[in-house]
Amino acid sequence: MSTIRGARERARVEVTAAIKDEARKQLAAEGAAKLSLRAVARELGMVSSALYRYFPSRDDLLTALIVEAYDAVGEAAETARAEAGAPAGAISPAARWTAVSCAVREWALGHPHEYALIYGSPVPGYAAPQDTVGPASRVGQVLISVVRDAHLAGGLALPPVDPALRPEAARMAADLAPDLPPAVVAALVSAWAQLFGLISFELFGQFNRVVEAREQLFRHAVHELGHSVGLLDGRTSAAADAARA
């Protein structure tokens, strides 16, 4: 029904896409704080006021870029999960955890400025509207689903949990994954932040002059992070199977 409409609608979609493309280039050159409608218009051969027919304000354009970035990294994570045999393929959940993590890192390395837009310092004076919270949760949802698969297959160890953290762990579990043990959910939220800590340090230059073999360090660290949420690697998984049999 709405696949083919008038030429106006098609043109509008194309111009909107061109604006966002150019804005992404500016993001790379100048950063989100200096994203300017005028510069985008100039580069597109338009006049600045014409852009307001597509985006009512600079912040709306920024929001569109943020949503697209979250969607892109979320899709990268979802694709990696699928290719690594979700929901319960031949590949172990631990390997799927690593595959998803590596996919997120690779997306970040390939789109450093979009990564900085969503996982770096907040843009001063910009308040994220509600539209961003759904897309922002996609990567987290993928990580949860990988751990859930392991849980359903009985291949999940229970991480230790500090008694002081128990109420919060229960609250987070109720919110995020009621079917998982609270200890796992708490460990998962920590691991989620730590995963992005590794990526951010690499991307934001903290590893300069410190780490050289960054992919190896990353793979090793996320493997250990998988353990921290209770995922078992191949050997212990086999041992668990043996114990069960």
Partner DNA sequence: GTCTATACCCCGATAGAC
Partner DNA sequence: GTCTATCGGGGTATAGAC
Q: Which does 86 bind (CB under 5 to 8 A by kind): DNA, its own copies, none?
A: none
Nearest approach, Cβ of residue 50 and its own copies (Å):
26
Of the pair 46, 97, the CB lying nearest its own copies is at 97
CB 204 within 8 A of CB 187: no
Q: How far apart are the C-alpha atoms of 99 and 84, rounded to whole Å?
A: 7
Q: Does 49 bind DNA (CB under 7 A)?
A: yes
Q: Does 35 bind DNA (CB under 7 A)?
A: yes
CA angle at 27 for the pair 25 and 31, rounded to the nearest 5°: 145
Nearest approach, Cβ of residue 59 and DNA (Å):
7
23, 27, 46, 186: residue in contact with DNA (rule CB under 7 A) = 46
Question: Between the CA of residue 107 and those of 9, 28, 118, what are the distances in Å?
Answer: 31, 15, 13
Q: Encode 204-221: b = buried (16+ Cβ within 10 Å), e = exposed.
A: eeeeeeeeeebeeebeee
Count of other CB atoms within 10 angstroms of residue 43: 14
4 to 33: interface string for DNA, x by CB under 7 A: ----x--xx--x------------------
**C-alpha gyration radius of the chain:** 21
Q: How far apart are the C-alpha atoms of 165 and 186, rounded to whole Å?
A: 8
**Contact footprint for its own copies (CB under 8 A):** 29-31, 33-34, 116-117, 119-125, 128, 133, 136, 140, 160-162, 164-165, 167-168, 171-172, 175-176, 186-187, 189-190, 192-198, 200-202, 204-207, 209-213, 216-217, 219-221, 223-225, 227-228, 236, 243-245
Residues that bind DNA (CB under 7 A): 8, 11-12, 15, 35-39, 42, 46-50, 52-54, 57-59
